[in-house]
Structure 1
Amino acid sequence: MTGLPVWPRYLDATLGAPSPASFRLSPEDFRVDEQLDFKPEGQGEHLWLRIEKRNQTTLEAVRQLARLCNVSPKVVGYSGMKDRVAVTRQWLSVQLPGRDAPDDLAAQLATLGITVLEQARHPRKLKRGVHRTNRFILRLQGEAVEQHDFHARWEMLCREGVPNYFGPQRFGANGRNLQRAEALLARGWRKRDDRQGMLLSCARSFLFNELLGQRVASGDWQTLLEGDTVMLEGTHSLFRVEQPDATLNERAAKCDIHPTGLLWGADFSADHSVAQRLEAALAERHPVLTAGLAQSGVKSARRALRVCLDAPALERGQRNDEVVVSFSLPRGAFATAVLSELITQPDVANTDTLAGINNI
C-alpha cells in the first residue's frame, strides 16, 4: 500500500470542490485549547499544570517538564497530543510525592516556550483521553475564502455536521505509518514492535475512513441503515437500530444521534444487516489489515460517522482573503476533517504525526 486515498468530501456533491487556501502560515494561525470538564482538587502528590506552548509537540513538553523536575517522563501525564506547528493549551501532570516542584519551574519552562497558566495539586495522574473537547481558532487565507460559496459551505457544516474522518496526520507523511502498520500486521503484530499501539491505531483508523468514505459517496453517512449502531450526541452511549423509523430518522436529522462505524477488532462478527455487511466487506478489500488486527487481539470499538461543530463562529479578517473560524470538537475528532470541506488540500505537512493517537 503506497500513499493514501483521497476520501470523498461531503459538500462536493452539491457545491463542488473547494478552492485552495492556507491555514497554517504561522503557529498563531492554528490555536487549540484542550477542555476538561473537571478541575484538580487542590491536594495530592501530582502537580497539574495548565500550559500554553508554541511550535512544539506534547511529548517535547513532557520531556522538558520531566527533566526540570528530575523525574522520569513516565510519571508525567497528559490527556491528548497536540499539533506542533500551533499555539496550544493543555494540562500536564507530574508526580512529586512528598516534595515541591522547583521554585523556578515556571520561569525555566518559559525560557523553553512553555507558559504556565494555572497549577494545582491532585491525587491522581492525568490519564490519556479524559479531556472532553478541543476548542480550535483557525485563520484561513487564500482564494477559497473569497469565493461566493464559502459562507454556504460553513453554514452547511454548522447545520449538518462533518464526516468524522481521521486526519491525514494519523497516517504519517505520504502514508508511511500505514505502510509500516501493514508490514507489521502481515508478519504478526507484537507489542514490542509497537509499544504505544500507534500502528494498530493507524490501521483501524484507515479502515474506518474507508467505510466512512463509502457511505459519504453513497449519501447515507448521516442517515440510519438497518443494523446501524448509533451513538448519542455528547456521549459514547450506543444502541443498535434494527429498522430505522420516522422518530429515529428525525433525531438523526437534528444531530441528536449519529450512525457509527467500526474500529476493527478481534471480536467483530457481522450479521446480515445492511450496515454490518458494509463493515464485513472491509475484510474482502483489506484482508492483511483485518486479519492482522484480529490476530493482535485488539477489541473492536465504535466511532461516530459524523461530528458536529460546537459553538461555531466566523469572523472576517482585515483582508478580503482572510477569515477566522472557531469551533469545538469532541476528543479524537480532527480539525483537518472540517477544513477539508472548506478549502482544497489543507497543509498538514508540518502537523505532529502522532497527534490524537491516544484519543480513539
Structure 2
Amino acid sequence: MSEKNICFDMNALAYAYGKPAVTATLKSSPEDFRVEEQIAFSLLGEGEHLWIWVEKTGQNTDWVAKQIASYIGITSREMGVAGKKDRHAITYQWMSCHLPGKPDPDFLKLSIPGVRVLKAVRHNRKLQTGGLSGNRFQITLNNVEGGLEQIEERLKAIQVHGVPNYFGEQRFGNDMQNLAQASRLFNGEIKPKRHQKSLYLSAARSWMFNEELSERIQQNTWNQAIEGDVFQLQGSQKCFVSEVDVEIQQRVTELDIHPTGSLTGRGKSLATAKVYELEQSIMANYPLWQTGLEKFGLKQERRALRVLPQDLSWQLEGVAEGGVADELQDGLEFTQTRLVLSFTLPAGSYATMLVREVALVTSELV
C-alpha cells in the first residue's frame, strides 16, 4: 500500500479513555475558544526589538503580522511570531518587531479589524518560532448532550493521567491536504515555497507519530514503560535511554518521565526492542515519506506520548432562554448545557486533543 492509498482519518486514532458518549458543538463563536501565550522569561525593557502583546479575533496570525509590519514600515522578515494561532478564536499572543534606533510606533492609531495591541515592551532578541513555554486555554463546548456523568469521570482521569499527545487536525491542513501535498513534494510533482514545504514535511512525520501513539494506546502501553522505550523528562525536551526496571516504571507512573514516540528523519532511532520494531512497522507503510524526510535533511527527534494539562478546571453550565448561563443544578430548566474548560498545555501540544477525549465535537466555524 502506498501513501496515496492510505486513508488519513483523525477519528480512526485510538482514544485513551474509550470513544466518548458525549456530543457537543465547538467554536459556535470565536469567544468559545480563547488562547493566551505564555513565555518563561521576562522582557528586558530595552533593545532593538519591540515585543507587542496582540489581541486578535477572527484573524489569521500571518495576515495580522503582515498588516502590522506594513503599518510600522518594516518587512515581514523583521517580524517575529512564536506560532500560528487559530483564526476562529480570541487569542493573545506576542509578536516582535525589529526597530533598531527607531521610536516605538503609536499603536493607538492601528486600524486592523479584530486586532488590538494591548502593550509593547522592548527586548534584545527577536521572538523565535516555538519560543513559548505554553498556552493557556479557555474552551466552551455548547449543546452538550449524553452521559454528563462521564464528563466528570473523564476529566478527573485526565487530571491524574494526562491525555495522548497527538498532533491535532491543524497540523494536517483542511481535509488533511498537507499529507497529500507531502506525497506530491516527495514525488517531485511540486516545488512549494519554503514555509509550505516546512508544513508538508512536519505533517508527514507528525502523522506517523500519531499512528505510533494510536498503536501504543491500543496495546495499553501509551502511559507505561516497555522494553526499548526512550524517555523524556516532564517539562523538558531532554530524552534518555534506560532499561525498564522498578524505578523507571515508578517514575513513569508518577509522570516524572514519559515514554516517547519517533519523529522520524535521518539517523538511527534511539529506540530498541519492541519500540523500535513498532516504529519500523509503521514507517514500512510510508517508504516515500521516509526517504523524502531523510532527503530534505530532517533529523530524528522524539516526542512524549502523553501530556499532562496543568491547572485543569471545568464548569458545567445550563443555558436558559436569552443565553443566560448558570451552574447546572436540579430544579432549574435550561435550553442547553455547556461545558467550560480551562487548562494550560506546553507549547506544541493541542487543546483539541484534550477535548477529543471528553466529547465528540462538531464545529460551526470553518
Normalised by the size of structure 1, how large is the TM-score?
Answer: 0.90
1:341 matched residue in structure 2? 357
Contact between 2:38 and 2:133, CA under 8 Å: does it hold in 1?
yes
Q: Secondary structure at 1:234's aligned position in 2?
A: coil
Asked whether 1:69 is paired with 2:75, we answer: no
Q: Secondary structure at 2:152's aligned position in 1?
A: helix
1:106 matched residue in structure 2? 108
1:287-326, aligned counterparts within 5 Å? 287-319=287-319, 320=328, 321-326=337-342
**Structure 1 residue 287: Cα displacement:** 1.3
1:200 matched residue in structure 2? 201
2:176 matched residue in structure 1? 175
Contact between 2:16 and 2:163, CA under 8 Å: does it hold in 1?
yes
Contact between 2:230 and 2:242, CA under 8 Å: does it hold in 1?
yes
Contact between 1:69 and 1:101, CA under 8 Å: does it hold in 2?
no
Normalised by the size of structure 2, how large is the TM-score?
Answer: 0.89
Contact between 1:145 and 1:323, CA under 8 Å: does it hold in 2?
no
1:279 matched residue in structure 2? 279
Aligned length: 344
Taking a change above 3 Å as real, the CA distance of residues 200 and 140 of structure 1, as seen in their structure-2 partners, is same
1:329 matched residue in structure 2? 345
Deviations 1:138-183 (A, max 9, x none): 0112234762211101111111110000001211122111101112
1:260 matched residue in structure 2? 260
Q: Distance in 2 between matches of 1:40 and 1:193?
A: 30
- Structure 2's unaligned 5+ residue stretches are 320-327, 329-336
Match of 2:20 among 17, 21, 29: 17
Q: Secondary structure at 1:71's aligned position in 2?
A: coil
1:82-121, aligned counterparts within 5 Å? 82-103=85-106, 105-109=107-111, 111-121=112-122
Contact between 1:230 and 1:260, CA under 8 Å: does it hold in 2?
yes
Deviates more, 1:292-301 or 1:67-76: 292-301
2:14 matched residue in structure 1? 8
AA at the equivalent of 1:187:
G
1:43 matched residue in structure 2? 46
Taking a change above 3 Å as real, the CA distance of residues 270 and 47 of structure 1, as seen in their structure-2 partners, is closer
Q: Secondary structure at 1:98's aligned position in 2?
A: coil
Asked whether 1:79 is paired with 2:59, we answer: no
Q: Secondary structure at 2:23's aligned position in 1?
A: coil
Q: Distance in 1 between matches of 2:168 and 2:271?
A: 30
Q: Distance in 1 between matches of 2:271 and 2:126?
A: 41
Contact between 2:28 and 2:365, CA under 8 Å: does it hold in 1?
no
Q: Secondary structure at 1:43's aligned position in 2?
A: coil
Contact between 1:4 and 1:174, CA under 8 Å: does it hold in 2?
no
1:34 matched residue in structure 2? 37
Taking a change above 3 Å as real, the CA distance of residues 84 and 284 of structure 1, as seen in their structure-2 partners, is same
Deviates more, 1:180-189 or 1:149-158: 180-189
Asked whether 1:222 is paired with 2:226, we answer: no
Q: Distance in 2 between matches of 1:95 and 1:261?
A: 37
Q: Distance in 2 between matches of 1:208 and 1:138?
A: 26
AA at the equivalent of 1:285:
N
Asked whether 1:235 is paired with 2:236, we answer: yes
| RMSD, aligned α-carbons | 2.0
Q: Secondary structure at 1:51's aligned position in 2?
A: strand
Bigger strand fraction: 2
**Structure 1 residue 64: Cα displacement:** 1.2
Taking a change above 3 Å as real, the CA distance of residues 183 and 194 of structure 1, as seen in their structure-2 partners, is farther
AA at the equivalent of 1:315:
Q
- Structure 1's unaligned 5+ residue stretches are 351-360
AA at the equivalent of 1:4:
F
Taking a change above 3 Å as real, the CA distance of residues 338 and 322 of structure 1, as seen in their structure-2 partners, is same
